[in-house]
A and B are shown apart, each in its own frame.
Chain A
């Protein structure tokens, strides 16, 4: 709720900052800014709900883009390439999951390692040159629009993905089990939930979503190189945390993440139109992340403080 209000407020502020803001074409265009981090954020959200983290997702995306470039080079149809890339990215995610859940390694160390390893892998596959001669079929998802040339296809893809993840997380047994594991890993295990399988599945899902994000990236920028989306993970983590997903696991909604993405996208777009320099945008992003995570702690300590001040109410017997 807060986030929806903030998004509208940010939109109004942006409209004030720049005369170009209130324009349907521009707004539709601005949604494209957060589609690829949005797809990553949806995957990360599932992992974070489990109480784990995956910071290797941006590198998985880079592996995806260079794979697409290789397929495009061989003139393979995108409809054949896409499932293969999804499969490979899913496998990379599953490898994270195996290391985290199977070997019980700390997820931060594992995904930090694979962040470097996958990034290196992307360079190894694609060599250091960038690739820009994509077949038009590869660009279609990320660049075309439908419905009177307004609605970007990538946005429809994002909407479908968020509905799907929302359904899985909030209306299926798997989703409920994810929350249970995140709330209390051991209790979930004792109640018979296959914690290991669930974690591996969540990481695989995140990896597969990174493949879709890679397709969107290819369409938007028309290029693929090993350093694609380098540093994007900050934006992704910010969106997940601002969206109210508890970094310790067990709490959060897909709707919250989507709203946080809209908010961040609006702010970024507004700042871009108002000619605010990139570094300052980064500072704003970092500041938002800090405030976002400090708020619950602050409100908790304030209420604690109030409890100390107010006379303690005796519990009814």
Chain B
């Protein structure tokens, strides 16, 4: 009997671990399948959908959101949330655009400026959450209104129009390499960079560790506060960059730029399989989630469906994606538990 158990358990364990890995992979491929399905439906419904021109339009629309979704994903991985992403984008966009309008000969240091501003804003969030021990939702809800309010105060009701911005800034977003918008390439590059950072660097792994089991992380000897601070800093950095890109893309920078993006970024991340309870998910998934949202938006516009249906669909898909995640999480926990008991029996 004991021999039988010894022989059996490892295979059972392998099978079970196989299941959890399989389920996680399924989650990402599930997003792809969903994307494919949505694309198929829209291309059947309207002939304008499945064209190269429209595909590039969708990709351009998804590009900036995918960066913000990646930023949101990093914070979500640590079991926190950042609802100030839109305000951070708006703040950075307005300040950099204003700087550029005053210094017409400004060069690439503008990007550096955006990154620094974004990093600073993100660090403030991180300090509040990690060291002030404020619940992340409350802290970022507060900074969301603070950052937006400061943008208003700084702007004094003005806006930076596109003719005040340096030409290279506006042209750079319209550039095309082999027919692909440079914007899309830059965003893919950034997302892949973040993905590599999270997957292959110790600090990246720590972000996952904090999210999947904070207590174990403490016992292991990691300083949770630093990791959370880093996650928020990184999120701010990415939002700053995204804010600059968005400013260049829309041309006219107003104080309400990117308001409501906290919702879309969260939707993208959750749809892309990033768990709100932390520790699981990938930035690639979040970027794919952004692509799904952009595809749905685009299709609804082509079909002439009123814009408010988008809110309804976006909101419902968040709930649905969260439900799928909890379901998969429960299954994985069950299979891991079976594995543990199996070993003990052996």
Chain A interface (Cβ < 8 Å from any Cβ of B):
53, 99, 103-106, 108-110, 112-121, 123-124, 128, 226, 234, 237-238, 241, 247-248, 277-280, 282-283, 285-287, 289-290, 293-294, 297-298, 300
Within 8 A of A (CB), among B113-152: 128, 132-135, 137-139, 141-146, 148-150, 152
B interface residues, how many (CB within 8 angstroms): 43
Contact between chains at B316 and A117 (CB < 8 Å): yes
Within 8 A of A (CB), among B289-346: 306, 308-319, 322-323, 326
Partner-contacting stretch, out of B13-21, B39-47, B222-230, B263-271:
B263-271
Q: Say yes or no: A119-B309 contact (C-beta < 8 A), given A109-B276, A290-B146.
A: no
A275 to chain B, nearest CB (A): 15
Contact between chains at A112 and B308 (CB < 8 Å): no
Query: Residue-by-residue, is B47-88 near A (CB-CB < 8 Å gives 1, otherwise 0)?
Result: 000000000000000000000000000000000010000000
Query: Residue-by-residue, is B143-172 near A (CB-CB < 8 Å gives 1, otherwise 0)?
Result: 111101110110000000000000000000
B217 in the interface (beta carbon within 8 A) = no
B295 to chain A, nearest CB (A): 17
Contact between chains at B310 and A120 (CB < 8 Å): yes
Contact between chains at B315 and A247 (CB < 8 Å): no
B277 in the interface (beta carbon within 8 A) = yes
Residues of B near A237 (CB, < 8 A) are 138, 141
19 A–B contact pairs at CB < 8 A? A105-B326, A106-B326, A108-B137, A109-B270, A109-B318, A113-B267, A116-B312, A120-B309, A120-B314, A123-B306, A277-B152, A277-B153, A279-B149, A279-B152, A283-B145, A286-B149, A290-B128, A293-B138, A300-B133
The docked-state distance in angstroms from the alpha carbon of A118 to that of B139 is 25
Q: Say yes or no: A286-B132 contact (C-beta < 8 A), given A123-B308, A279-B152.
A: no
The docked-state distance in angstroms from the alpha carbon of A22 to that of B187 is 57
Q: Say yes or no: A114-B323 contact (C-beta < 8 A), given A106-B277, A120-B308, A279-B152.
A: no
Contact between chains at A117 and B315 (CB < 8 Å): yes
Judged by DSSP, the binding face of A is: helix
Chain B interface (Cβ < 8 Å from any Cβ of A):
81, 128, 132-135, 137-139, 141-146, 148-150, 152-153, 255, 263, 266-267, 270, 276-277, 306, 308-319, 322-323, 326
A124 to chain B, nearest CB (A): 6
Contact between chains at A108 and B81 (CB < 8 Å): yes
Q: Say yes or no: A128-B308 contact (C-beta < 8 A), given A119-B315, A290-B143, A297-B132.
A: yes
In the A-B complex, list the 4 residue pairs whose CB atoms are closest, starting with the nearest: A116-B315, A120-B312, A279-B152, A117-B315
Residue in B134, B137, B315, B326 whose CB lies within 8 Å of A115: B315
The docked-state distance in angstroms from the alpha carbon of A36 to that of B263 is 24
Q: Say yes or no: A280-B141 contact (C-beta < 8 A), given A115-B315, A117-B311, A123-B308.
A: no
Contact between chains at B319 and A110 (CB < 8 Å): yes
Residue in B135, B150, B263, B318 whose CB lies within 8 Å of A247: B135
Residues of B near A124 (CB, < 8 A) are 308-309, 312
Chain B residue at minimal CB-CB distance from A289: B142
Residue from A106, A113, A119 having most chain B Cβ neighbours under 10 A: A113
